[in-house]
Amino acid sequence: MSSSNHTEHQTGFRETLKSDIRQRDLSKTMRQDYREVREFFLTDAQRDELQRMNWFKKMFVLPFWLFRAMYMRLTPARRLLLLAGIVFTVFTRASVNAGDVTISNGHLIGGLIFLFILLMELKDKIVARDELQAGRAVQTALMPPEVPEFDDWEIWTHTCPANDVGGDLVDYLPVGPDRLGLSLGDVAGKGLGAALFMAKLQATLRALAPSRSTIDSLGLELNGIFERDGIPNRFASLVYLEIAPGSGAVQFLNAGHMPPLHLHDGVVDELPRGGPALGIVARAEYTTQNVTLKPGDTLCVYSDGLTEARNMAGEFFGEERFRKLLGQVATLDPAKMGNHILQRIRRFTDEASQHDDISLLILRYAPSGGGASAGNSDATAGNSIPAEEDTATDGIAPAS
């Protein structure tokens, strides 16, 4: 017996029913499930057409579209069973009298067929869920166990997959005497396929980075491997950085990723763009980029799942809103900055589903001796949450 089945058997039916009834967020969960069903089964064209329909027509068209999409995704045997269940339920009138109760044979048989189909679909889902949970456990084990500690630097990392497993890479490893390599990558797509591709990227990067001659040569080697062994329409963007104690100099490689953002002197600067994503262009060229952080400066690397987070109205969080937010939290230490950013995104998206993996890598040059706050006139600025300037216009509620 699997562990999931064993756990489910430990809870009685009555206790489970009581727990389900007492859920405080039941209506919220049902609304979210309904939105996810529409998002999954309807095409973009159908969603656009629904927007133009009146409510009366939509009441008939939407259930038909959802039924058709569901029907086409069933196995052939289950499609035939579903049609048989509908026929028995709708068109069969035979009944059996049992005292004062009349039972329709057709309704009973149809209901049993529907229940059998539900049981088979649930079995498939549980098997797939167990496999994904195992994959998630492996992926979690491959990730760094904790935020790295490195002399003269404050570092904070975060990744949150949209599904059980994700395609974003956040990792670090020593690459030489007093040097630390950090990476944030984003594999095209999401789910299991992206997670497997990400695992290969992580393993390849860990094998090559410690022995690379230069950072740009690392890009050439990585691209050559993924262009040679890649699969169609699957590629990865990557930012790889190296830092050392006692210096704010950062060397980095950008392979098709959003440029890192440099927070300094009250401004947010976008660093130069790099070469193409890994696995797209054969013999692509990459360059080693450099940026020097002053004490108190911060570098932020992020995945597009952050700026493409959507709210209930389908509006993106966006680059402009993100950069404005970074300007507001620039004086915070990396951990508080990162958590404040995530809190603001959660408030912005509200009940909307997460559509893509969200990852963040924040590093701040903080040399020993108090230099990290040298750029701030207020010694307590790094520990305070900045006030909102205009939350009415940017759509983000203030963090508590």
Structure tokens at 152: 């003269």
Residues 171 and 265 grouped into a single domain: yes
What is the predicted pLDDT for the residue at 11?
61
Q: Is the pLDDT score of 305 beyond 80?
A: yes
**Residue after which a domain boundary falls, among 138, 165, 198:** 138
Residues 79 and 200 grouped into a single domain: no
Burial class (CB in 10 A: 0-12, 13-18, 19+), 74: middle
Is residue 372 a part of any domain in this protein? yes
CATH number at residue 240: 3.60.40.10
82 three-class SS: helix
Residues 126 and 174 grouped into a single domain: no
For residues 30-59, average pLDDT = 89
How much of the chain, in percent, has pLDDT values that exceed 90? 49
CA distance 388 to 325: 9
Least confident range from 24-38, 99-113, 198-212: namely: 99-113
The angle at the Cα of 274, spanning 269 to 277, to the nearest 5 degrees, equals: 125
Is residue 17 a part of any domain in this protein? yes
**Residue after which a domain boundary falls, among 69, 103, 138:** 138
Full residue range of the structural domain in which residue 37 is found: 3-138
- Mean pLDDT, the chain, rounded, equals 83
**Residue after which a domain boundary falls, among 97, 112, 138:** 138
Residues 172 and 259 grouped into a single domain: yes
Contact 198/236 with Cβ under 8 angstroms? yes
Contact 165/132 with Cβ under 8 angstroms? yes
The angle at the Cα of 392, spanning 391 to 395, to the nearest 5 degrees, equals: 70
Counting the structural domains of the chain, the total is 2
CA distance 328 to 296: 15
Residues 63 and 196 grouped into a single domain: no
Least confident range from 64-73, 101-110, 151-160, 179-188: namely: 101-110
What is the distance of C-alpha 101 from the center of its chain? 53
Least confident range from 26-35, 99-108, 241-250, 370-379: namely: 370-379
In degrees and rounded to multiples of 5, residue 357 shows phi and psi of -65, 140
How much of the chain, in percent, has pLDDT values that exceed 70? 84
Residues 179 and 94 grouped into a single domain: no
For residues 372-392, average pLDDT = 37
What does each C-alpha distance from 263 to 83, 181, 298, 365 come to in angstroms?
61, 20, 5, 11
Task: Spell out the SS3 assignment of 145-204.
Answer: CCCCCECCEEEEEEEECCCCCCCEEEEEEEEECCEEEEEEEEECCCCHHHHHHHHHHHHH
Beta bridge partners of 299: 262, 363
What is the predicted pLDDT for the residue at 370?
45
